Amino acid sequence: MRYEFMETIKLKKDQSTKSTGIKITGAEAIIHCLLAEGVDLIYGYPGGAIMPVYDELYKFQDKLTHILTRHEQGATHAAQGFARVTGKVGVAMATSGPGATNLVTGLADAQIDSTPIVCITGQVPRHLLGSDAFQETDIIGISTPVTKWNHQITKASEIPEVMAKAFYIAKSGRPGPVLIDITKNAQFEEFEFSYEKCTGVRSYKPVPEPSIKAIEAAAELINSAKKPYIVWGQGVILGKAEEALKAFVEKAGIPAAWTIMGESALPTSHPMNVGMVGMHGNYGPNVLTNECDVLIAIGMRFDDRVTGNLDTYAKQAKIIHFEIDPAEVNKNVAVDIAVLGNAKTTLELILPLINENSHEEWHKEFDKKYKEEFAQVIEKDLHPSKPGLTMGEVIEEINLASEHEAVIVTDVGQHQMAACRYAKFKHSKSNITSGGLGTMGFALPAAIGAKMGAMEREVVAIIGDGGYQMTIQELGVIFQHNIPVKIVVLNNDHLGMVRQWQELFFESRYASTVMTNPDFVKIAEGYHIEAKRVTERKDLKTVVQEMIASKNPYFLEVRVEKEDNVFPMIPSGASVSEIRLK
C-alpha cells in the first residue's frame, strides 16, 4: 500500500525498547537490539535465511519502518545516505548468498568513505555451514576487506553482545561499516534476553589522546608561517568540528580548501573558503599547494586524487596533519607534525595558541588564480555562449532555486565534478557523494536515504545517464512511499568521464562509451512520478523552479552537450602544479 512516509515516521519517533530478561527468539532479539540503539528505519530485502527476523519485524511495524528496496545494493546506499545526512548509523538487511553479496559494493563504499552502517544478513543453519548449502556464501570472508568489523552469530545468546558491539564500532572513532551474519538456527533459538549498550572494546581505542606537545609545536609552526594553507576533509564533518574549523580559519586568516568529502563543512560563501582541491578542483587551491610554506591537513587522508604525483606534492612545505586514524599518518605523505585526535577536540585545543592574522598578500594569490580560472573555465560553464546546455549552468539554476539550502546527492562522473565545483552550500552535511570508491549507481538510493533522514530539507539527486541506469529500479521505492526526492539526470548519451579521458589521452577512440538511452521521462511516469525534459536554455530556469517548488517526487532530464569536458583537470600521474585549464 502506498502511504505518506512523512506522516508515518512521525508516529514512530521517540519509541524504544527495554531489556526484558525474558526468553525470546533470536529473531525477536535482533529487533529489540535495534530499538535499544534508537533505530527506527531499516532498508532491506527479505529472503529465506533472514525470514524469521522479517517475521518479527512484521510484528513491530509500529516501532520500526522497513523500506523494501528493489535491490540489496540500493539498501546499503540508502543506509549510507541516511547516515551521511544525519550522523546516525544506517541499517540495511538482506538474506544469505546473493542477497549478502549484493551488499558488498555498499560496504566497500562505506568503508573507504568512513560511513557508519550496520548490515545484517541471514545465513544457512549452523550445521550446514561449509556444505555449499542452498544460498550459502562465506560473507564473512568476502566482506572482511571492506568492513571495519564483521562477525558471524551461530547461537542466539550471542546476539545482544554482538549487536551492541556492532553499533559501537560502526559509529566510534573513524566510522565505518559493520556486517553481522546470523545463522538461521540462531534466529529460531530462544534465550533469556537482556541488552546493554557497548561503551568500549578491549584493545580498541577509537580516539587517540591528543598530544599537547604536538599541538604546541603545530601552533608555533602555523604562527611563523608566511603562506599557510589548510586542506580539510570529511573528518571535520564526522568529528562535528565545523564551528571549530570556522573559528580557527577566521582567527588565523588562513586560506582553506576542501576535498569533495569535506565540502559544506564551511559555507561556500565564507571568505576563507578558497575552493576544491583534487583532479577537477579549482585552479588556485591545486597550484598553490606547491607554493605554501605550511600545509595544514585536517581530517583528510591525502588521497591520490587530491595529491596527484606524490613525488612533487608540497615538497617545499612543512606539513601538519590533524587526524583521528593513526594509520593514515605518513601513509601517503610524510608529515612533520601529527596531531592525533578528534578534529573538534584538537582544533579547540590549538585555537588559544594561534595568533590573529590576515595573510592578505597570500590571499591575493588565490584571488589571482581564481580570476584566471573564471575567465577560462567558470564563465563558460555557468554562462555559456554556445547553444548547448552545460552541466554547470544546470547546477547554478538549482543553486538559485533552492537558495543554497539543498542537500545535493551525486553519483560518479562528469556530473559529480560539475556539482561539487558549482553547488553552493550554507549548511554542513549537504554534499553526499561516493568519494573514495567512485560507485556508479550510488546517487538515487542514497538520495532516498538522505531525504528520509532529513525530511525538512530539499534533497536533489544529480546523476549521469550511465550511473542512473545502474539503480534505476529504486524509483519503485520513491513511488511506493511517496518520498519527495528531486532527481536530475544530466544526459549526454555517453559515459561522460570515460569519454573525456578517451578524448584527451586515447586519441578520441570512444570505446564502449556511447550510450543509446531509453526515454527516461516515460520510465519516471511509469512509476507515477512527475517528469519533464529540458533541451533548450530558455526552459531551464522555469522547470528547475517548478521542480524545487514541488512537494512531490519530481524527475527532470536535462539534455546537455555530448562532448563537453570538465576542467580544470590534473592528468593522471601529473603534479598538482600541472593542472590544465583546457
The two counts, helices (H) then strands (E), for the chain are: 25, 20
Listing DSSP states for 469-493 in one string gives TTSGGGHHHHHHHT---EEEEEE-S
Tell me how many domains the chain contains: 3
| Residues 284 and 274 sit within 8 Å (Cβ to Cβ) | yes
In a domain, 416, yes or no: yes
**Separation between Cα atoms, residue 305 and residue 314, nearest integer Å:** 14
Amino acid identity, position 442: F
* Single-letter code of the amino acid located at 520: F
Structure confidence at residue 572 (pLDDT): 87
> Is the same domain home to 280 and 393?
no
Angle between helices 104-112 and 72-86 (to 10 degrees): 30
- Residue 294: give the domain boundaries: 212-366
Same domain, 334 and 253: yes
Residues (pLDDT < 50) of the chain are 1-17
Verify that 412 and 309 share a domain, yes or no. no
The set of cell numbers assigned to 127 is 550445521
Please report the pLDDT score of residue 293 as a whole number.
98
For residue 351 the three cell numbers come to: 585555537
| Residues 129 and 246 occupy one common structural domain | no
Do residues 246 and 356 both lie within one domain?
A: yes
Is the bond preceding residue 568 a cis peptide, omega within 30 degrees? yes
Type of residue found at 97: G
Distance CA 202, CA 456 (A): 40
Whether residues 359 and 242 share a domain: the answer is yes
Other Cβ atoms less than 10 A from the Cβ of 14: the count is 6
Q: In CATH, what number is assigned to the domain containing residue 174?
A: 3.40.50.970
4 within some domain:
no
Q: Provide the pairing of β-strand 190-192 with 23-25.
A: antiparallel
Q: Are 429 and 115 in contact (CB under 8 A)?
A: no
Do 415 and 440 share a structural domain? yes
Please check whether residue 499 is in contact with residue 563, taking contact to mean a CB–CB distance below 8 angstroms.
Answer: yes
Q: Considering the domain boundaries, does residue 578 fall inside one?
A: no
Same domain as 164, residue 16? yes
Q: Give the C-alpha separation, 499 to 341, whole Å.
A: 42
pLDDT at 2: 34
Rounded-to-integer distance, Cα 578 and Cα 571, Å = 8
Same domain, 185 and 240: no
Any domain includes 577: no
Q: Three-state SS across 503-518?
A: HHHCCCCCCCCECCCC
For 193, list phi and psi in degrees, rounded to 5.
Answer: -85, 135
Q: Which residue type does 187 have?
A: Q
Active centre residues (catalytic): 72, 134-135, 184, 497
CA 222 to chain centre: 31
Same domain flag for 22 and 160: yes
State residue 8's pLDDT score.
42
Could you give the maximum distance between any two Cα atoms of the chain, in Å? 72
User: How many C-beta neighbours within 10 Å does residue 506 have?
Assistant: 12
What pLDDT is attached to residue 22? 84
Torsion of CA 407, 553, 467, 136, to 10 degrees: 100
State whether 399 and 362 are in the same domain. Answer: no
Query: Considering the domain boundaries, does residue 28 fall inside one?
Result: yes
Task: Enumerate residues 6+ apart whose C-beta is below 8 A from 424.
Answer: 268, 269, 399, 404
570 domain-assigned: no
DSSP 569: B
